[in-house]
Structure 1
Amino acid sequence: MSADLRAAVEREMPGVRADLERLVRIPGIAFTGYDFSHLDRSAEAVAELLRGAGLPDVRIVRAGDGHPAVIGRRPAPPGAPTVLLYAHHDVQPPGDLAKWESEPFEPVERNGRLYGRGAADDKAGVMAHVAALRAFGDDLPVGVVVFVEGEEEFGSESLDDLLKTYRDDLVSDVIVIADSGNWDVGQPALTVGLRGLVSAFVDVRVLDHAVHSGMFGGPVPDALTVLSRLIATLHDDAGDVAVDGLVRAPASDIDYPADRFRHEAGILDGVRTIGTGGLAEMAWTRPAISVLGIDAPPTTGAPNALVPAARAKISLRIAPGDTAESAYRALKTHLETHVPWGAEVEVTLEALGDPFRIDATGPAYDAARAAFAEAWDGTAPVDMGVGGSIPFIATFQEMFPKASVLVTGVEDPDARAHGPNESLHLGEFTKVCLAEALLLRNVAQQVQPG
């Protein structure tokens, strides 16, 4: 059976790659200001792929004003479990085109990698599901529900409504979320923890209008200085987050070598990492605060006047075991109590996302680990955390508490998802597709339905 599946996946890979390239050419972006008709094209393309892969019930669905998602279903054989396969077909905006070495929506292969926006995140996740279905053809050993979302990169605003509306169609015994990555090229992984997210704006005001910096500078603070000093209180001198009330989860036992971390992050020579503790711990199980943007006069044309007000966007990643609501209250309290010189301060919430942590034990996880080890020719997967956030996983856990949630993916440390020159390692992609086919076989043998 394993040899037959391996041969079937290898047979299907040329077509899978060609279809992946067709998906990459569709610039489906759910961000405000982009042409949403491309999301309709993308959803139609995914629906066509699922029908072609043997799913008899395929629908494009929406919730309210949300963007199109695709649900495809095939019932389970008698006595077999059902597996939900998740991915998303929308992508991040391309960003600065000058930083791309090739057109972001024209896939190009270089040195064994396929470059293009969405080539890894997450159209390869879509195609991994399609590849596994094609490999089995009419002999699928499990029931399958494929759920491909259309606005994950924009915050999954309509996802809760979609899950509630189509809950009965999505009930399953195992949920595979193909939106993460592997530890390294040649080293598969299961993601067992992700940090949550709090996104907020902080506004400071010191004057009711701008005034002459020479006439009033000195006794009157400017808003940018106030904002800078307030932001500086978010970390201590070592670089650890200094906001009281945030949870720190247990340290990971994976060694994240400093030279590898620096290379993957692109840290410039001479720049030191911040914080205390191991790198995996700080990146996966500790809170982290970043300033993503500041609204202030640009330097070009800035007058000699004290700035009356300024705004910053603050991103807080929260550790597994914390809650987004609690973390937001802690951040808000800190900013309100540390603003200097009696300046007015207002903290406004933009978005919340809870972290998650999985107890990765039981038959479904055994099935996954065996499938990964076989696909990677004997290399067993590691359990890893991820510093980023996929808040909807907590929603899946809440809505389907009996299902085992497996977080997998196609990315590797050089994928550069969300950045210029995003790419997919084609050799690893073949292993991912084989691993998913083997996983479906193993689940059929090891997981009881219901």
Structure 2
Amino acid sequence: MTRSLRSSVATSNTSGWAKTAVASPSSRTPKRADGRHFVDSARIAVRGGHGGKGSASFRREPYTPRGGPDGGDGGRGGSVVLEATNDVSDLSLYTQRRRWNAEPGADGAGGRKTGRSSSDLVLKVPVGTIALDSEGSLIADLDRPGARVVAARGGAGGRGNVHFKSSTRHAPDYAEPGLKGEELEILLDLKLIADVGLVGPPNAGKSSVLRALTAAHPKVADYPFTTLDPELGVAESDAGRVVLADIPGLIEGAAQGAGLGQRFLRHVERTKALVYVLDGSSSDPWQDLATVRQEVAQFSAGLANRPHIVAVNKVDLEPARRLRARSRRAGVYFVSALTGEGLPRLMDAIAEVVAAAPQPPVPAPAKVTRLPVRRADELVVERKPSGFVVRGERVERLVERTNLDSEGGLARFQAELDRLGVNTALEAAGVEPGDTVSIAGVEFEYQP
């Protein structure tokens, strides 16, 4: 008695695809609704392009009405790729548009013509971007320019009917559909790449120091919290090139998120050293230093133990000059971002600390994503109240690869189920005529 599985549900999934070769923000980063520019976190959904369908066609020649199969293969769908670049400063583009789909491959055609494979969709992200899956597991750390990761692979194209001709099957009337592209939800998390982080209380003049040491142009004014976003600047010295990051002011409770402290502190996790910038005109600069250091330590013990320098700014003011006159602390640099006093010595000290500092470890989530590896020949049959579920790489791929609306395709599908041992495994699990069997989301009715 011939055993078979008859399809009771046929599913298909067709979608429109935007034709985009490379995605990156324009040179003028759009403003967010609250007027701020810097975006360091975004959640996106990516999907690789589906593979093109194989063609079921035949040669048309005089006196040869069905002159043999000549259907070409479908093209491969494009993949979605994340690429790190210094040309992009933040993740604002990915808050404006959340879904990114690569193009599908073109269908095959007669005359053994293979469909066009689609180009990859390349999403440009800032250097220092970490990609996490929906469970918080690490997909990739794009920590250098040009670093790439395939976030969602495109599906392979289906084979044309020319592949299914045999000594017993001279005119196969079926071809394979293309495989679906991978889909993934991704959290993009930016942690700036800098050698040195400038940290300190609000209104200490960190932005002014950054501007004086580098070519950066952060917003500067004489009131607290002028800087609401991290700023980067590059300084050149005899010891080499140093990248500095100005982190917005830290207040007590910053490690617990007060004043957006956690968001700010994460941007110095990758730095080799810290410069604690203090306001020399403050009523108690040393207490300010203790508060900031405590917040850094509560956020990360490793960060607190990193090499550091203390810079007291505003020495052009009388309170700071008096502080310098009575200070006996070693390793403290008194500077004025306004007049430039003390800045060359500070820059030399920064360059020396950076040159001597070990590369800091890159903080990462608990694990790196590794999909379970299933042996290609593994077959699992699970009995459930609604019927039977069959799992296995080969049988699931078979369902995706088969045109179940074609008589020839269905006949080949049933023969392959026998060859793979699916029917035998179902009988061993107690399947009965009329039971529902689900494979790769498609339901069938079992008929012996």
Give the TM-score category using the shorter length. under 0.3
Q: TM-score of the superposition, structure 1-length normalised?
A: 0.25
- Name the one with the larger helix percent: 1
Higher RCO (Cα < 8 Å, 6 or more apart): 1
Q: Which has the larger radius of gyration?
A: 2
